[in-house]
Each structure stands twice: as structure tokens, then as C-alpha cells.
Structure 1
Amino acid sequence: MPRTLRTLAALSLAALAVPALASCAPDASAAPESTSPVSDAVTVDNCGTEVTVDGPPQRIVTVKSSTLELALALGAGDRIVGTAYSDGPLPADLASAGADIPVLADKVPSQETVLALNPDFVFAGWESNFSADGVGERDALQQLGVTTYVAPAACQEKEYQPDPLTFDAVFDSFLQAGDLLGEKEAAQKLVAAQKAQLAKLTPDDRGLTAVWYSSGSDQPFVGAGIGAPQLLMHSAGLTNAFADVKESWFSTSWEKVADLDPDVIVLVDSTWNTAQHKIDVLKANPVTSTLKAVRDDAFLTVDFPATESGVRNVDAVASLIDQLAER
């Protein structure tokens, strides 16, 4: 029976049962004091939407690599009934846990595709994933009994965006997801392990400037001053040339990049827009081909799934530091 019909049927039976229950209820005045029952309910403010779970979700759908990887790292893989919008292969330590999870779509799945799995929780990497022509609008899904949750760093409203994103905020998001998914202890262990790993890293101390080149050939899309690119570069000891821009990413011009003349350029590597393609663009463009960083091949790479708030961020910082040490 479809979820909506089951819900209506349950409500009807509950309404019929109320008088019967009331007639046999003991006298409240004679009843001893009772304590409130222990509840597994968790409520959070998520991008301005109140999200409540009454217990650990049992049928989870993830959208974007960041959410899939976090859910797997927390040990909820056996409750993930579908995933979509992968930004690349899973890291080696999570590959086995995620190997058999059905892939719903290469990009954002339709609402029909998602609802066919009868999920009780949809965990999205971007707030824009929840739309009428995507997974579905949050209010509509909630009315169908589907809880929706967005990775906090991806909230679109300024009042909910980290400014800037910090590792404390990243780790807090792990803990919040752990609470909602019923994996509180696993989240605490994950945070402790990543904090220990981060504490052992020694950032580069040469004061090098960097431009984070995400995408774009005619107009570069670069990392700005409040999001994951800023966090990763700063943690590795680099000075973001666009740190004064109050965005996570933004579009600029090649002329502006040339004016800033960074010491290194961080390239986002993905299967659909490789780091090598970006190098070719930089070397073919007359505005950037003469930059010292381009002439000297002063390029660093970061895998696309590590460029958003998630479980790969600490490893990405370590990788940047190692790449800088080789220069």
C-alpha cells in the first residue's frame, strides 16, 4: 500500500480507538506520578527548516558524494537504500561499505525515483537538490513522511552559511549527522580521529599565495573566502588570493587572476574536468600562459569530492602539504 494510503488508514484507526481507550483509562487523579519516557527524538534547525527524527532512519537516500561518504563513515551504510550524484569513486576505506548501494541517477534523481524506494530520510549535499524538478521540495516530502536534511555548510541563506567554514564547523556537522542517523558514538569517534590527524599536520610556512581553479575555460570559477577551498588552503599554509570575497566560490576573469599572479594554482580534478584539462587551458590562454606558476608547473591537485565540507577534508589538507613539500 502506498505510504500516503497507509498513513490515512493509520490515522483513521487511531481516531476510532480514542473513545475506547478513554473509556477504560484509569482515573488520572489516582494514578501515581510517572516519569517521561526515554525518547530517541532529535530536532535540529537545518538551513531554516526544522528537522525532527523520532529514531534512527531505516531507509536513507543520499545525494552527492559528501553525504554518502559521511553516512558510510558513520556506519549507516546498511540503511542506505539508494544514492545519486556521485562526484567520483569512493575512497578506499569506504569502497567496500558502499559497493552494493543502488545508484539512482548520475545527477539529481527525480522525486518519483526517490519515493519508489519508500525512504524515511533524504540526506542532500546541496540545498538546491530539494526542488520540484529534483528530489522534491522539502515541505512536500515532509508531508509524505520523508525527513529531509542538507549538509549544513551548503545552506544557501547567508544567516545559515558558515562564515568562514572552519574545521570546528565541519566536525560539528559530523556530530549532528550522527545524532540524526542514530550513530552518535560513531560520529564522536570519527571527529576524535580526524582532530588527531589534523593536529599532526604542519602547514607550509613560506607564505605562498594561491588561486583555487575549480572550473571554466572562458571565465574561471575559483575558490573564494568562506567555503571549503579557503579552509583547505589556509590549513595547508597557503594564502588564498581571493580570500576577501565573501563567497564559497565565484566567477572572476583571467585578467584578475593574472593581476594577482599567485605562487601556486590549486586544480580541482574530476573525471569530467580533469586537472590536466585545466593545465592545458592555462597554458593555451595568452593571459595566463606567462604567469610564473604556469610556466613553472606550480600546480597542486585536489579530488572533486574533497572540495566540499566532508570526511575527506583533513586528507585533502595533508595532500596539499605533501605536494607543497615536493616543490
Structure 2
Amino acid sequence: MSAPSLLRAPAGAHPLRPRAASLVVTAALLLAGCAGGGDAAGPTEAAPSPGADHGYPVTVDNCGTEVTLEAPPERIVTVKSSTTELVLALGAADRLVGAAFLDGPFPPDLAEAGADVPILSERAPSAEVVLAAEPDLVFAGWESHFAADTIGDRAELADLGVATYVAPAACQGDGYRPDPLTFDDVFAHVLEAGELLGAREEAAALVEEQRAALAEVEPSTAGLTALWYSSGSDTPFVGGGSGAPQMIMDAVGLENIAADIDAGWGSIGWETVAAAEPDVVVLVDSAWNTAEHKIEVLESNPVTAALPAVAEGRYLVVEFAATEAGVRNVDAVASLAQQLAEVPLP
């Protein structure tokens, strides 16, 4: 049996149907633009809210979309590692009915909790795949996940009784995009997610733990510059000046040579990299674009091969899943700081 709808739908909207088959058929019609304006359901006597004694209903303004939950969500689908790992870290693994678009394996401290989470899709899932899991909340890492060719429009999902929530650090609209992203933003996101999931105490404890761990990191005071190399061979895709890469480098004490890019990530030319002559290179490691491959690119490119950082192997490595705002960011800072202390510098 599916969980009851937790989203306060617009007046006249139908509640979430109990069977996945009904959801999928309804979604196919809605997302194809075929849903008609049928008669609204008649008024019924309202039942007491199951979350009334636990701080519900909860309403948040999420990237410009108002989201209201009447009770803690019981069937959660997550998209991206950052959102999945946050749900696991908040102790809600038993409510995860599916995850998609993971960037790699879970970190050791979350591996056991995430061992039985169903993986719905290797990439952004379709509406049919998501709705077959009968979620009452879809928690996505990017706004773009809610598109006609993937999960579907947020308003249309709301009409089906499915609440949606985007990681606030990924909001792109004016007044919602963090500029720049800070650890205070990340921690506020954790607390808001805890409020929505009915895990306030867990969220507060997690933030306290992460603040303490971050305070223990001693940033470098050597005035070192760095290239955050995410991907790309002909043209490098690098960490810009307003997202998680910049936030992490600031905490480590590294000056980003691409800080003038007003975005979390962006592209620059290899000649620009060579002219900046970074002291170290931060390599983003992923299964599809490894740190080793990036080293090969740097060492085989005549423009970058002669750079002291490349010639002397001044590389720091960070896992891809830690490069988006989430519960891994503090660990990434600590790891990079330790690696930096071990890199032979002039």
C-alpha cells in the first residue's frame, strides 16, 4: 500500500493514487499535456494531520516553489549522490524507496545504511520510473531534473500528490542561487532537509558535528594558487568562483585561478591556465573521468606539461561526489588540507 499524500495540493486536485500502475498512466497523460480539467472532487471532512504533534505542516520556499508537507515523508526518491547521502546521514534510509543518478559508491560511514537502497536509474530517471516507486517526496540535486524529458514538471507532480524538493544550493533563480556558496548555506540546507523529513534533532547533531570538524582544519597561509580541474581535454571544465569548489578551496586556503567565473563551474582555455601558473592542481576523480586520466591530459599537453605543478606532480585529489554541496564537503576540506601538507612545494 502506498503512503498517503503529504503535499498540500491545490484546491480540487486529486490525491495520490494507491497503485503504481495508476500513477504511471496518470503521469503519462499529464506529462504529455493530455490531462483535462475534469470535475473537481467534492469536499470531504478533513482528517487530523498525522504530523500535527511533530511540527507539521512544514512549508518552505524552495527555488521559488512553495512546498508544504503535512507529515514526515514515508516514501522518498532521491536523485544525485548529494541528496541521497543527506537522507542517509539523517537516519532516513528506511524511507528511501529509490535513488538515481549516483556519482559513485557511498562513503564508508554511509555504506551500510545505503546498502539496500534500490537504484532506479544510472542517470536522471523518467517520470514513469520514479512514479512506479510511489514516492510522496522526490528530493533532487538539480532543478533541471524536474523537466518534461526526465522526472516531470514540479507543478504536474504536485497534481499527482508528489512533493518535490531541490537541494537549495542548486537553485538558479535570482534571489535563490547562493552567490557565493558558503558552509553556512550548506548547513542551513541540512537543517531545512531535517525539518522536512522530520529529522530535526538528527540534522542539528549532524551540523554540530560538521562545524566542529571544519573548525579543526587549519587552512594554508602560504598564499598558494590552485586549478580545480573537473573534466575536459581540449577545453578544461574547472571550478568557478561561486560554488562548492570555491567554498572548499577557500576553507583549505587555496586561491582559485578561475575565481572570476561567476558560476560554480565553467570553461577556460589551457593558455589561461598556463598564464596563471597554479601552484597545485585539484583533480576531480570519477569512474568516468579519473584523476589518472586528467594527469595524462596535463602531462601530454605541451601548454601545461611545462608547468611546475605538473612537472613536479603537485596534485590533490577529490572525489566527484564531494564536489557538490552536501554532507561530504567538510571531509573534502580535511582531505585536501592533509594532502596539501604532504605536497612538495617550492
The residue number in structure 1 matching 2:69 is 53
| Aligned-partner residue type, residue 303 of structure 1 | E
| Superposed CA offset, 1:20-66 (max 9, x none) | x9xxxxxxxxxxxxxxx655111111111111111100000000000
1:326 to 1:6, Cα distance in 2 relative to 1, 3 A: closer
The residue number in structure 2 matching 1:188 is 204
1:203 to 1:95, Cα distance in 2 relative to 1, 3 A: same
1:261 to 1:190, Cα distance in 2 relative to 1, 3 A: same
TM-score by structure 1 length? 0.90
TM alignment of 1:35-184, pairs within 5 A: 38=53, 40-184=56-200
Contact 2:237 2:268 in 1 (8 A): yes
* 3-state SS of paired residue (2:73): coil
Shift of 1:15: 3.5
| Superposed CA offset, 1:208-249 (max 9, x none) | 000100000111000011100001111001011111221110
Structure 1: how far apart are the matches of 2:40 and 2:63? 35
Shift of 1:204: 1.3
* 3-state SS of paired residue (1:98): coil
Contact 2:15 2:160 in 1 (8 A): no
* 3-state SS of paired residue (1:218): coil
Larger helix share, 1 or 2: 1
Structure 2: how far apart are the matches of 1:93 and 1:270? 19
| Superposed CA offset, 1:120-175 (max 9, x none) | 00000111111111111111101101000000111122421111111111000000
Q: Structure 1 residue 270 and structure 2 residue 297: aligned?
A: no
Structure 1 stretches of 4+ with a deviation exceeding 3 A read 1-9, 12-18
The residue number in structure 2 matching 1:303 is 319
Gaps of 5+ in 1: 22-36
1:132 to 1:17, Cα distance in 2 relative to 1, 3 A: closer
Cα-Cα RMSD: 2.1
The residue number in structure 2 matching 1:206 is 222
| Aligned-partner residue type, residue 141 of structure 1 | L
1:60 to 1:299, Cα distance in 2 relative to 1, 3 A: same
* 3-state SS of paired residue (1:15): coil
Shift of 1:13: 12
The residue number in structure 2 matching 1:217 is 233
Shift of 1:289: 0.8
Structure 2: how far apart are the matches of 1:157 and 1:263? 35
Structure 1: how far apart are the matches of 2:178 and 2:328? 18
The residue number in structure 2 matching 1:15 is 42
1:6 to 1:125, Cα distance in 2 relative to 1, 3 A: closer
Structure 1: how far apart are the matches of 2:40 and 2:166? 34
